[in-house]
Amino acid sequence: MNQLNQSKDINFLKEKAKEARIEILKMLNIAGSGHTGGSLSATDIVAVLFYYKMRHRPNEPEWKERDRFILSKGHAAPVLYSLLAMTGYFEKSLLTTLRKINSPLQGHPSSKLLKGVEVSTGSLGQGLSIANGLAMGLRLQKIPARVYCLLGDGEIQEGQIWEAAMTSAHYKSDNLCAIVDNNGLQIDGRCAEVMKIDPIPDKWIAFGWNVINIDGHNIKEIINALDEAERCKGKPTVIIAKTVKGKGVSIFEDKVQYHGVAPSKEELEIALKELFSSG
């Protein structure tokens, strides 16, 4: 069984990211709850991972040589669900069951309920530790697969992240790539005001990582960064992706109140009109 066809076509990837944003907003509106801002800020990154970079087989989700994706910021589950559905892990109609009782699409991803979800996440700060274990395990088994771990910028205030970062560098886990969704906002306000995290790149450099800084909404930059990360040998790579919370819909962009609030019917109509008319 062949792996999912990979595409480096910029316009194709932009369209897939737009499609994912539409699916995210629709499922959140139906659910009436969930996390809008951080799902939309990460959409371009996750779309490029699933449609370009990662080696994976939607019809064979437990393929041993697959690349692993860990959504450490588990509250952004809608972005993962949208890409899993779009790439064929399950029918899109299931997206309408987000956060419903007995649905496999819980508010935070559950590996016990949904194929394609590598690990259950949501307790912030734990994803990079899990990614370390996966990366080291793959290397010990001589499996040529990579691990991608998406972190929130507010999440890296957690001490466990830095213990994990130290571990990754110590074991020279060059099959591991962390990505920081640096949208500048967390549930209680601006990261700089809640607990200052800057300068982010310098911290990772000090911990022994290869650091790449990009615009997290520029598809070409995302592609180039992921390719560079794969070429880097002898140390793990972190991509610091500057993003905008709520990206793609002007009424949500850079607004902390949409961290954990679903769009209303009126907001959804405005958002869909804006997305459908965008290039």
Cβ(107)–Cβ(168) below 8 Å: no
Per-residue pLDDT tens digits for 219-268? 999 999 999 999 999 999 999 999 999 999 999 999 999 999 999 999 99
The predicted structure's pLDDT at residue 2: 42
Q: What is the mean pLDDT of residues 137-153?
A: 98
Report CA-CA distances (Å) from 231 to 9, 13, 227.
21, 22, 6
Q: Which residue bears the tokens 């449609």? A: 51
Residue 109 has pLDDT above 90, yes or no: yes
Cβ(122)–Cβ(70) below 8 Å: no
The H-or-E segment that residue 68 falls in is strand 68-71
How many Å apart are CA 222 and CA 228, to the nearest integer? 10
Confidence of residue 8 (pLDDT cuts 50, 70, 90): confident
Q: Which residue bears the tokens 């609030």? A: 261
The predicted structure's pLDDT at residue 1: 36
The predicted structure's pLDDT at residue 3: 54
Q: What is the mean pLDDT of residues 181-205?
A: 96
Q: What is the mean pLDDT of residues 58-74?
A: 97
How many Å apart are CA 219 and CA 243, to the nearest integer? 12
The predicted structure's pLDDT at residue 6: 76
User: Could you tell me the domains of the chain?
Assistant: 10-277 (3.40.50.970)
The H-or-E segment that residue 274 falls in is helix 265-277
The predicted structure's pLDDT at residue 48: 98
Residue 4 has pLDDT above 70, yes or no: no
Mean pLDDT of all residues belonging to the chain:
96
- pTM > 0.85: yes
Determine what percent of the chain is predicted with pLDDT higher than 90: 96
Among the listed residues 240, 238, 239, 258, the one whose alpha carbon sits nearest the alpha carbon of residue 248: 258
How many Å apart are CA 195 and CA 190, to the nearest integer? 9
Structure tokens at 71: 């959504």
Residue 279 has pLDDT above 80, yes or no: no
Among the listed residues 232, 243, 171, 229, the one whose alpha carbon sits nearest the alpha carbon of residue 200: 243
